[in-house]
Every structure is written in C-alpha cells, then in structure tokens.
C-alpha cells in the first residue's frame, strides 16, 4: 500500500486521501474529548512529490513539490507559501516555493522548544503559522 500509485491515479489518490482525512479527523476528534488536545500538533508530509506532466502510464509520481499539512489547536489555519506556477516548470516539475526546512525549523522551535540550529545548522528560514 501507499501513495506510490504510478498510473491511473485519480481514483486511487481520491481514496487514499479520503482515508488519510478520515483518520486524522477521527484522531483529532478523540483528542477533543481529552485535556491533551492543545499538546498535539499533527504534521503530514511526504518527500514524495508529484509531477505536473504524466509519465508513460499517466502517473504523476516522483516529482519535486508536494504539500505539507500541519494541524492542531496551536496552528493558525490557512495556506502558507506561494502557489507554484504551472507556467514556470522546471523539467516538467513544479518549482518548490517553500522549503520544508522553513516549516521544520518553526516546528522545532515552537512545538518542541528546541533550537533549530542543533538539527538544521544555520538554516535561517521560518514560516509564521503557529499561534505560540
């Protein structure tokens, strides 16, 4: 199983993303009935990006750009980063507009209360999506 679908992805992706959505919603719903809801931040990330132009079997796997979802009581909802342009592809791939390390550094500092430099060196990028 997994999201490495390779071909005819529309139905498979819809099903897989539906399972993911339902699972995260159920987990967060159960947290709301506890006192720990504000202690949890869920990060959904895949290094497995998607391509704009399909391969020989019309699959869009093995691209360079993909979404990150960060969910929790301490997250300011919304869309962060720039929408990649479909007119400015790089070798048929979307140009990455937000480096995952910007998000990771923010999570390290705001959620884990750990200096990002210990993990990311002198990485300077941050993304302002946290309430704290």
Residue 43 pLDDT greater than 90, yes or no: yes
Nearest residue to 54 via CA among 27, 20, 92? 92
The mean pLDDT of the chain is 88
DSSP 8-class letter at 126: -
Token match 């210990």: residue? 118
Mean pLDDT of the region 59-70: 83
The pTM assigned to this predicted structure is 0.83
Residue 57 has pLDDT above 80, yes or no: no
Query: Where is pLDDT greater, at 12 or 115?
Result: 115
Query: What would the two tokens of residue 6 be?
Result: 């390779």
Residue 2 banded pLDDT, cuts 50, 70, 90: confident
Q: Over pLDDT 70: what percentage of the chain?
A: 98
Q: What is the pLDDT of residue 132?
A: 67
Cβ atoms of 94 and 70 closer than 8 Å: no
The predicted pLDDT at position 47 comes to: 74
């Amino acid at each position: 199983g997994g999201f490495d679908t390779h071909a005819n992805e529309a139905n498979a992706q819809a099903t897989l993303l539906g399972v993911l959505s339902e699972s995260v919603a159920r987990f967060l719903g159960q947290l709301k009935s506890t006192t720990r809801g504000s202690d949890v931040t869920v990060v959904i990330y895949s290094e497995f990006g998607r391509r704009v132009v399909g391969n020989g079997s019309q699959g869009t796997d093995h691209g360079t750009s993909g979404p990150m979802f960060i969910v929790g009581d301490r997250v300011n909802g919304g869309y962060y980063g720039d929408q990649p342009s479909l007119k400015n592809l790089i070798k048929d791939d979307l140009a990455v507009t937000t480096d995952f390390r910007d998000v990771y550094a923010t999570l390290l500092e705001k959620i884990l209360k750990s200096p990002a430099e210990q993990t990311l060196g002198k990485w300077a990028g941050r993304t302002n999506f946290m309430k704290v």
